[in-house]
């Protein structure tokens, strides 16, 4: 399923920031510092299992659940 990584990144940003513009930018910056540039992925980007694992680890570090809610 193409675009899964973009969806995961968006979930991290949305759930951590909860609409706060400052937290949106801070979360994006943290992702970049950890080697995941949010703007580099689109809904048509191919999904890499290793990158998905890395994003799941980042989500856990940030205290964000990627489970459907």
For the stretch 3-17, pLDDT in tens is 899 999 999 999 999
Rounded to two decimals, what is the model's pTM? 0.89
**For the chain, give me the number of helices (H) and strands (E)?**
3, 0
- Give per-residue pLDDT as tens, 23-68: 999 999 999 999 999 999 999 988 899 999 999 999 999 999 998 7
Backbone dihedral region of 30: left (phi > 0), alpha (psi from -120 to 50 degrees) or beta? alpha
CA dihedral angle for residue 14, residue 21, residue 37, residue 33, rounded to 10 degrees: -110
């Amino acid at each position: 399923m193409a675009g899964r990584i973009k969806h995961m990144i968006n979930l991290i940003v949305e759930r951590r920031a909860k609409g706060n513009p400052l937290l949106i930018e801070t979360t994006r910056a943290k992702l970049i510092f950890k080697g995941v540039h949010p703007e580099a992925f689109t809904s048509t980007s191919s999904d890499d299992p290793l990158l998905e694992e890395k994003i799941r680890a980042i989500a856990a570090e940030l205290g964000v659940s990627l489970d459907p809610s």
